[in-house]
Amino acid sequence: MNHSLGMAIEMLVAVLLMLTIGYCILLNKRLTRLKADEHSLKAVIAELITATEIAERAIGGLKLAVRDVNENLGSQLSAATQMSEQLYRQLGEADNVVRRLSKITLAARPVTHPETVAAAPVAKPSAAKAVAAAAEAFSERRRSNGIAA
């Protein structure tokens, strides 16, 4: 029995060694694939580093562009605001001029009555009324902003 027990143990050891060799072959294949994946992973990491550096440079350029655009827009906005205020003042002045001109025109227009239109010739505007309206408009402008007409 001793001999058969020894033989059974030897057979068991041989089977276990065969299983170990098979498992080692399987691990070797996996390690080979892992090394191949490691090389491709290193290549991917290098590409990512390069892409990151390019992106950082692009971001720096974009920051400079944004700063330049911000400065330009700020100055243009300031100029536009000043121009808007100037136009608003000029529109007010133009309104005053139109009002004064309409007063002068109304003062210089001859007064005609419907019953005398057919019988009487067209009357000439009164020079005194025109001068008075012009003087009134002139003084009104001088009072409003201190500028002579």
Interval 26-44: pLDDT, tens: 999 999 999 888 888 999 9
Q: Please tell me the pTM assigned to this model.
A: 0.39
Q: What pLDDT sits at residue 91?
A: 87
- Those residues whose C-beta lies under 8 Å from the C-beta of residue 101, and which sit 6 or more positions away, are 137
- Those residues whose C-beta lies under 8 Å from the C-beta of residue 94, and which sit 6 or more positions away, are none
CA distance 145 to 89: 11
The more confident residue out of 45 and 132 is: 45
Q: What pLDDT sits at residue 148?
A: 47
Q: Provide mean pLDDT across the span 1-7.
A: 83
Q: What digits encode the pLDDT tens for the residues 107-147? A: 777 666 555 555 555 555 566 677 777 777 777 766 665 55
Q: What pLDDT sits at residue 113?
A: 57
